[in-house]
Structure formats: C-alpha cells, structure tokens
C-alpha cells in the first residue's frame, strides 16, 4: 500500500474540511464584518471579556505575530480596546467594547446555519468532536 497517496492521508481531509467550512462561514461573517479568525477571537471575548495576548493565544494556538495585527484590526473596528497593563506593562490587555458585546446578537444565528450546512447526525458530530480533541491532546502533549 502506498502511504503517500492523497487518499491514504488523514491530514488532507482535515485540511480540506477546515478550509471549506471556513469558506462556508465567510458570507455569514461578512455580514458582521468579521473574518473567521476574528470571529473566534470575538467568541473568546464574548465569554471572557478581558485577556492578554498570551492567554488568547494559548486558547487559539496562535502567537503574537498573528494576533497583534488581527487585534489592531478589531480595535480599528471598535470591537475591542488594547491597553498596556499597569501591573506589568509587558502585557497588552484586550478588552471587549460595548459595540463588541452588541455584535454577539448579530452572530446568534450563525452556529445553526453552520450545523445545517455540515449536516452530520448528532452522534457523528459528537464523535468527530471527541476524536478531534483527542488528536489535539495527543499532538500537544508530545515533547517537542
């Protein structure tokens, strides 16, 4: 068996799925002037209200090289503020604004839209969810 055939790869459909689902999000997110990555940042902030770049990056598995420009963009849209911490001025405190909180109302219909689009049974969705987090756990726990 040729292990280098595309059809024998597990990462390839993962890569395609991620890309294509995000593509499906795009028209929905365009309506509220967000990209997919901006959307997951906003989801984090709808839940946490305030954080620094490090904390955010730990959840999204992104570093400041990606987050800083993205956060500046969200700041320019008045969805967040960025301020140096007075306790430790190495930290940049990201806070959600009133406008950012309001935005959640416009996003409420998005999850159902996407669930419908992915069109898996509850059981399949559950199984997928579990396996994906297992993979993440397995990958991240590895020493380098």
Q: Quick check: 9 binds DNA (CB under 7 A)?
A: no
Q: Is 69 in the site for DNA (CB under 7 A)?
A: yes
**Alpha-carbon Rg for the chain in angstroms:** 18
Helix (H, G, I), strand (E, B) or coil at 89: coil
Q: Rank residues 3 and 90 by Cβ distance to a copy of itself and give the closer one.
A: 3
Residue ranges of alpha helices (H) inside the chain are: 11-30, 36-48, 53-60, 64-76, 98-107, 110-118, 122-141
Tell me: does residue 122 bind DNA (CB under 7 A): no
Residues forming the site for a copy of itself (CB under 8 A): 3-6, 8-22, 24-25, 36, 40, 43-44, 46-47, 59-61, 104, 107-108, 110-112, 114-115, 117-120, 124-125, 127-129, 131-136, 138-140, 142
Q: Which of 45, 71, 80, 103 binds DNA (CB under 7 A)?
A: 71
- Residues whose CB is less than 8 angstroms from the CB of residue 136 and which lie 6 or more positions away in sequence, other chains included: none
Separation between Cα atoms, residue 37 and residue 67, nearest integer Å: 9
Residues in contact with DNA by the rule CB under 7 A? 15, 19-20, 22-23, 26, 35-38, 52-54, 57, 61-71, 73, 82, 88-92
């Amino acid at each position: 068996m040729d292990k280098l055939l595309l059809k024998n790869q597990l990462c390839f459909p993962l890569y395609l799925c991620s890309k294509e689902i995000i593509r499906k999000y795009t028209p929905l997110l365009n309506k509220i002037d967000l990209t997919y990555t901006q959307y997951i940042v906003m989801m984090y902030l709808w839940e946490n209200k305030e954080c620094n770049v490090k904390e955010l990056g730990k959840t999204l598995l992104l570093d400041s090289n990606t987050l800083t420009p993205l956060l500046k963009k969200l700041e320019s849209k008045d969805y967040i503020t960025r301020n140096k911490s007075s306790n430790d001025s190495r930290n940049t405190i990201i806070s959600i604004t009133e406008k950012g909180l309001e935005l959640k109302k416009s996003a409420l219909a998005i999850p159902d839209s996407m669930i419908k689009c992915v069109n898996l049974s509850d059981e399949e969705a559950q199984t997928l969810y579990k396996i994906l987090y297992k993979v993440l756990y397995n990958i991240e726990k590895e020493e380098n």
